Chains A and B, each alone.
Chain A
Amino acid sequence: MKITLRSLLLHVLLLGAAVTTMAPLLWMVAASLMPTGEASTFPPPFIPRQVTLDQYQELLTRLSLGRYLLNSTVLAIAVTGISLLVNSMAGYGFAKYRFAGRDQIFKLLISAMIIPAQVTMLPLFLMLNRMGLVNTYFGVIVPGLASIFGIFLIRQFALSIPDSLIEAARMDGASDLRIYWSLILPLCRPILLTLAIFTFMGTWNDFLWPLIVLTDDSLWTLPVALANLSGEHVQDTELMMAGSVVTVLPVLILFAALQKYYIGGIMAGSVKE
């Protein structure tokens, strides 16, 4: 009896926390399905009287949300693809090749993780401005080409691959690049997936850098577009909720599908010492 009471209390607490956590997201979805004006009534309605997709239609036709969705998707995929290649090569290199100064370079990289990205943004902007790369996809991608955290994750994983495996492939006459591509990459699949989700979500959700480097609205990503639109449409609650749903839903679905790799990655990143 005592145990069931404790268990009951525990679940009431957990359920209360779950409802509190989900409430803002559920209200966002509900309001996005309401006709204009319905969300701005008291008490705030949680269920649309009549479900309508008007807001989504308005976003797509009048506010070119499709364009922003495309920009966000292209950029997130590009950064993920490129950085996965660059980081996995480097991570493998640091794990399995001996080179004078290798460990010092790696230590330097690890200590550089403390540099806040904001510090680099002013000169980076000036650099890109000179090169005519402000207001281009490339300008957005540049800071994400390689990531120290990504290199670190891959290196830790690659360290656990037995040297004998690599030696055996070498005996069979495989070249260094061949070994990397056909042996190491498949073995690293779980950590690559983890890194892919981190990078995709990080790029998708990123705000400050795209805000700085994209002034032309045809190149805006979803967060930049949403921040700008929400300034102009302060009163259009339902419309803005629909915009938020479109921005948030893709990453939520991705997370739901690949939860295991995402959470595993956080745990791997937290035990670095």
Chain B
Amino acid sequence: MSGSRSSAFLIFVGPALTAIGMFLFVPVIAAFLLSFTDFDIYALGDFSVARVVGLGNYGRLLEDPLFWQAVKNTLYFLLVGGPLSIVVSLGMAVLLHSRLVRLKGLFRFVYFAPVVTTLVAVAVVWRFIYHPRFGLLNYLLSLVGLTPIDWLGDPDWAMPALILLAVWKNFGYNMIIFIAGLQNIPQSLYEAASIDGAGPWQRFRTITLPMLAPTTIFITIITMIGYFQLFAEPYVMTQGGPLNRTLSIVLLMYQEGFRWWNMGYSAAVAFVLFVFILLGTLLQTLLRRRALR
């Protein structure tokens, strides 16, 4: 009986494990090996042309100003855009969670709508919203008397423009998770605090924020992972420019690997991304352990 049970187990999980093995685990190992070779366009036709170069690609990365620019840009996007989007999500979640709100479902739908839209399509839309002469945003600025900004053409404004788009597109997702977290906070805590004379801001600081800590850490991790993978926005809106100021790590990987066919070098870039994500996640998991203790 148990023999037939385990063969049934294999029938059920076999297809999935085969697919994941072939199309996830094997490629990851292959990418790791690839990053130690000089695999390029000639090797594409004949694999044997590729030579092992040891840590050569990683050494080249460290000396490549473009790589450092991509790291800097990605960290900028992550460290400014990530916290900004989390704060907006939390603020909207708290507002929407209030018992006073009418038409809750409608508001939730509206805030969430950008999340399900196609990133490429809304990037195309926002490229026109950022148009220096006819764009909606500069029109709004002109209404309050500000001078127009060449959002995507000015090296200092291009990344903030991508961040604004990303926050608009993503805040609804984390907002939903925060609302789930808020629903789990017992109402009695707030009532007790009110009796003790705590105002709204005090209740938020002493009850809401600490009770949401696990949710916030979860959100921080998934937001970080997502923001590290910045690609479609610069690909569609700026092609990494102006002056490479929106070149992201994934965009660099794409250009090196699939435009110039420097696949060994590109695999090294991909692995650096992997290591960044791994370190970021570990750091936040450690922080959580410490917070729980």
B111 contact set on A, CB distance < 8 A: 17-18, 21
Cα of A105 to Cα of B92 in the assembled complex, Å:
39
Most central of A17, A122, A222 by chain B CB within 10 Å: A122
B95 CB contacts on chain A under 8 angstroms: 10, 13-14, 17
* A120 and B225 contact, CB distance less than 8 A: no
Q: How far is the CB of A10 from chain B (nearest CB, A)?
A: 6
CB distance from B291 to the nearest CB of A (A): 14
Q: Is A160 an interface residue (CB 8 A)?
A: no
Contacts of A237 in B (CB 8 A): 128, 134
Q: Which of A24-32, A51-59, A186-194 contacts B (4 or more CB under 8 A)?
A: A24-32
Return chain A residues, CB-CB under 8 Å to B266.
Answer: 122
Inter-chain contact A266/B176, CB cutoff 8 Å: yes
One of B59-67, B117-125, B153-161, B191-199 contacting the partner: B117-125
Chain B residues whose CB sits within 8 angstroms of the CB of A240 once the complex forms: 124, 128
B112, chain A: closest CB distance, angstroms: 7
- List chain B residues, Cβ under 8 A from A11: 101-102
- Complexed CA–CA distance, A22 and B122 (Å): 12
Asked whether B271 lies within 8 Å of A10 as measured between CB atoms, the reply is no
User: Would you list which residues of chain B between 207 and 245 have a CB under 8 Å from chain A?
Assistant: 215, 218, 225, 228-229, 231-232, 235-236
Q: Does A241 contact B (CB under 8 A)?
A: yes
Contact call A124/B25, Cβ cutoff below 8 A: no
> Looking across the interface, which residue of chain A has its beta carbon closest to that of B99?
A7
Minimal Cβ-Cβ distance residue in A for B25: A112
- Bound together, the chains give a CA A86 to CA B34 distance in angstroms of 30
Chain A residues with CB under 8 A of B277: 114, 116
Indicate whether A251 sits within 8 Å of B118 (C-beta atoms), given known contacts A14-B101, A266-B177, A271-B180: yes
* Interface: B42 (CB within 8 A): no
Inter-chain contact A248/B102, CB cutoff 8 Å: no
Residues of chain B from 23 to 67 with CB closer than 8 A to chain A in the complex: 23-28, 30-31, 34, 44
> Do the beta carbons of B15 and A146 come within 8 Å of each other?
yes
CB contacts under 8 Å to A, within B77-136, are 92, 95-96, 98, 100-102, 107-114, 116-122, 124-129, 131, 133-136
Q: Known contacts being A44-B134, A86-B15, A251-B118, is A93 close to B31, with CB within 8 Å?
A: no
A contact residues around B271 at 8 Å (CB) = 119
B6 at interface, CB cutoff 8 A = yes
With contacts A24-B122, A99-B6, A122-B270 taken as known, whether A270 is within 8 angstroms of B215 at the C-beta atoms is: yes
Give chain B's interface residue range (CB within 8 Å of chain A).
Answer: 35 or more
A230 adjacent to B127 (CB under 8 Å): yes
Q: How many residues of A contact B (CB 8 A)?
A: 92
Q: Are A116 and B267 in contact (CB under 8 A)?
A: no
Taking a contact as CB atoms under 8 Å apart, the answer to whether B92 and A17 are in contact is: yes
Q: Cβ of B225: which chain A residues have Cβ within 8 Å of it?
A: 114, 116
Cβ contacts under 8 Å, B113 to chain A: 21-22, 25, 252, 255
A267 at the interface (CB under 8 A from B): yes
Interface string of A145-168 (1 = CB under 8 A from B): 110100100000000000000000
Whether A122 touches B267, Cβ cut-off 8 Å, given contacts A44-B135, A267-B177, is yes
Q: How far is the CA of A148 from the CA of B17 in the complex (A)?
A: 10
Residues of B within 8 A of A121 (CB): 27, 257, 270
How many Å lie between the Cα of A3 and that of B271 in the bound state? 55
**CB < 8 Å: which of B8, B16, B112, B177 contacts A86?**
B16
Of the listed residues B25, B113, B176, the one surrounded by the most CB atoms of chain A closer than 10 A to its CB is B113
State A172–B100 Cα separation when bound (angstroms): 54
Are B177 and A248 neighbours in the complex by a CB distance under 8 Å?
Answer: no
B229: chain A residues at CB < 8 Å are 116, 118
A123 within 8 A of B: yes
| CB proximity of A65 to chain B, nearest CB, Å | 12
Q: How far is the CA of A63 from the CA of B100 in the complex (A)?
A: 49
Q: Which of the residues A25, A39, A223 comes within 8 Å of B120, measured between beta carbons? A: A223
Residues of B within 8 A of A98 (CB): 2, 5-6, 9
Complex contacts, A125 vs chain B, CB 8 Å: 258
A180-B12 in contact given A13-B95, A39-B134 (Cβ < 8 Å): yes
A208-B250 contact given A119-B273, A223-B121, CB 8 Å threshold: yes
CB B247 to nearest CB in A, in angstroms, measures 15
Q: Which residues of A contact B (CB under 8 A)?
A: 3, 6-7, 10-11, 13-14, 17-18, 21-25, 27-28, 31, 39-44, 86-87, 89-90, 92-94, 97-100, 102, 105, 109, 112, 114-116, 118-127, 129, 142-143, 145-146, 148, 151, 176-177, 180, 201, 204-205, 207-208, 212, 222-224, 226-227, 230, 237, 240-241, 243-244, 247-248, 251-252, 254-256, 259, 262-263, 266-267, 270-271
Given contacts A94-B13, A122-B31, A146-B20, 10 further A-B contacts (CB under 8 A): A21-B172, A87-B16, A100-B6, A116-B228, A118-B231, A146-B15, A180-B12, A205-B117, A208-B232, A252-B116
